[in-house]
Amino acid sequence: MKRASVLLLATTMLSVTVLNGCTKQEEKAASTPSEPESVVSQPGVLPITKEKTTLKVLVTGRPNIDFPTSSATKWVEDQTNVHVEWQVAPEGAEAQAKLNVVLASGDYPDVIMNFGVSNTQQLSNGKQGIFIPLNKLIEKYGVEIKKVFTKFRTVKEDITSSDGNIYSLPRVAECYQCSMGQKLWLYKPWLDKLNLKVPTTPEELYLVLKAFKEKDPNGNGKADEIPLSGSIGGDHTTIDEFLMNAFVLNSVSGTGGGFSITDGQHMYVNNGKIEASFVQPGWKEGLKYLNKLYTEKLLDQQSLTQNLKQLKALGENPKEVILGATSALGIGTFTQYGGPSGRWKDYVAVAPLKGPSGVQITPYNPNSTFTGEFIVTKAAKHPDVAVRWADFMYNDDVTWKLQKGEEGLNWRKPQPGEIGANGKPAVFTQLAPIAEEKSNNNWYQRGLFATDDAQRYTSTVDPKAPKPQAVILYEATKNQYEPYQQKADTIIPTLFMDVDQSKQVVDYSNSIGAYVGESMARFVTGDLNIDKDWDAYIKQLNTLNLPKLLAIYQTAYEAKKKK
């Protein structure tokens, strides 16, 4: 994640005149092209073109948006003088299928928007001349884009391909608590009842879990407590997350649902060399620890197979509390945040445990840059108009208008004295869900934007209501996890690979990930002996081309660093 200052000011919505940023002199300049061959006004000046100009835009749809008829679309056209002929693709897997058909047909739109086009596709189509490099256009017209590059320091690096070209513009959605998502949550009332402290080492956690199992902390006279559980689906709920970080850096990203090593998961940089966490001596020691918990039934025997719904059922057991601890991004993952049981209030975050060799680390996942969101193709007659149109969307106030909806319907300005979730004067009050199908007054999660974490905490909150989950997660991340944040030079950056490299990565990582996941389960349950079978495990990984996979990542990493 990228650190940033507050994005939105208390006076959020400006008049059209202020939004345009045009003084009378600027309005005069707006009608004069900056260069004879260009149809656009000077950088940052609205409207973008003097004469109505059309862009053909292929966009991924969303249920609440009808792009041609949306009032937000009309507003954008009024501001920019750019008319859009929309080609709307379905959401989900069908969107990629539609994109593949379009690229294969040779009948390209001017702009491809919100498809999350992969880095490999960008590089491949860029080299073929289908996607045009945007570097010079950004340098000439990117007033707001350059602000994004300054504010979010790694964005430019994230979107620059290995050949030095920028083929797409991103959406940026900062999420501080997500950037350090591997958290452990313990049920504090049980600790208090048993006169135990929050654990700081794997051994201390073992003793806490043992007490949870043996000393009836829920007081019902039954041995029904589940000291520690997890699931194969959900945000950071798999059993290796959090716990393995006391033994080796276990860098993973996104939601669970199986063991995957694509996109550099379970890998890190060590003195310039990319290494896999699951072959390190620390991984072996971590497996022994997990096996100990499993064997003594301190780790839920269903953790390796149950889904997120089943985990949440444990957290919201209808009678007594039975779940002592679990790893998860947040409390709403395994309990019903704000629910009638109130249990979500009583789970506390545990800082990274300090392992036997001194390892104590919080993996850091800088995933706020979503690449491949805005691409200009060779079909565009006016690529300068396209980049100016993209630049317009990055403006803070334009972002507010397009992503928050209409004032008075979706939100209102705060009353004097109203406070946001961050304890500061509120910026707005939410009135209705933004993504309502009936509203059709916004482009929520579509288009381009660069929003920082401050927006998560600026909505009005009821001081009598429980602390918002976003604030709970922010405070836990700041106090328990950031002090141990992974060093920047150990993080694998966004990499661009060619088609052959990408295909090999997918093939190798699928087979390796499946094997490592299966082996982890067998080591933890005792089906494989960690000491006796470890060498065979490493040998099989080599047979599955782990050295070749690491070499491909290394090549792409070094190319990225040289550009």
Q: What CATH number is associated with residue 240?
A: 3.40.190.10
Query: pLDDT for 284-302, tens place per residue?
Result: 999 999 999 999 999 999 9
State the pLDDT confidence band at 470, using cuts at 50, 70 and 90: confident
User: What's the mean pLDDT when you consider all of the chain?
Assistant: 88
DSSP string spanning 272-309? TEEEEGGGSHHHHHHHHHHHHHHHTT-B-TTTTT--HH
Residues 229 and 104 in one domain: no
Q: Is residue 539 one of the residues assigned to a domain?
A: yes
Residues 248 and 157 in one domain: no
- Which pLDDT does position 242 carry in this prediction? 96
Residues 198 and 224 in one domain: yes
Residues 328 and 394 in one domain: no
Closest CA relative to residue 183, chosen from 469, 523, 516, 492: 469
> Residues 389, 391, 396, 400: is their CA dihedral positive or negative?
positive
Q: Is 267 helix (H, G, I), strand (E, B) or coil?
A: strand
- Which pLDDT does position 18 carry in this prediction? 30
What mean pLDDT comes out for the span 70-89? 97
Beta bridge partners of 425: 419
Q: Is the pLDDT of residue 31 over 60?
A: no
Q: Is residue 448 one of the residues assigned to a domain?
A: no
Distance CA 159, CA 157 (A): 6
Q: Is residue 431 one of the residues assigned to a domain?
A: no
Q: Is residue 3 one of the residues assigned to a domain?
A: no
- Which pLDDT does position 440 carry in this prediction? 83
Residues 226 and 191 in one domain: yes
Q: Is residue 79 one of the residues assigned to a domain?
A: yes
What mean pLDDT comes out for the span 485-499? 91
Q: Is the pLDDT of residue 551 over 50?
A: yes
Residues 283 and 188 in one domain: yes
Of 71-75, 441-445, 460-464, 465-469, the one with minimum mean pLDDT is 460-464
- Specify whether the backbone of 41 is left (phi greater than 0), alpha (psi in -120 to 50) or beta: beta
* Strand extents, DSSP E, 351-443: 369-376, 411-412, 429-430
Q: Reduce the secondary structure of 49-90 to three states and give it as a string.
A: ECCCEEEEEEEECCCCCCCCCCHHHHHHHHHHCEEEEEEEEC
Which whole-number Å values give the CA distances from 469 to 31, 312, 536, 554, in the listed order?
49, 16, 45, 39
Q: Of 350, 381, 396, which marks where a domain is finished?
A: 350
Q: Of 358, 381, 404, which marks where a domain is finished?
A: 404
Q: Of 404, 425, 450, which marks where a domain is finished?
A: 404
Q: Is the pLDDT of residue 325 over 90?
A: yes
| Domain ranges, residue 513 | 499-562
Cβ-based neighbours of 273, under 8 Å, separated by 6 or more: 554
Q: Is residue 527 one of the residues assigned to a domain?
A: yes
Q: Is residue 164 one of the residues assigned to a domain?
A: yes
Residues 189 and 171 in one domain: no
Residues 376 and 320 in one domain: no
More confident residue, 24 or 484: 484
State the pLDDT confidence band at 433, using cuts at 50, 70 and 90: low
- Which pLDDT does position 198 carry in this prediction? 98
Residues 96 and 218 in one domain: no
Residues 160 and 191 in one domain: no
Are the beta carbons of 4 and 152 closer than 8 angstroms? yes
Residues in the chain, total: 563
Domain count for the chain, please give it: 3
Residues 50 and 154 in one domain: yes
State the pLDDT confidence band at 391, using cuts at 50, 70 and 90: very high
What mean pLDDT comes out for the span 396-422? 84
Residues 226 and 244 in one domain: yes
Q: Is the pLDDT of residue 23 over 50?
A: no
Q: Is residue 318 one of the residues assigned to a domain?
A: yes
Query: pLDDT for 116-166, tens place per residue?
Result: 998 889 999 999 999 999 999 999 999 999 999 999 988 999 999 989 999
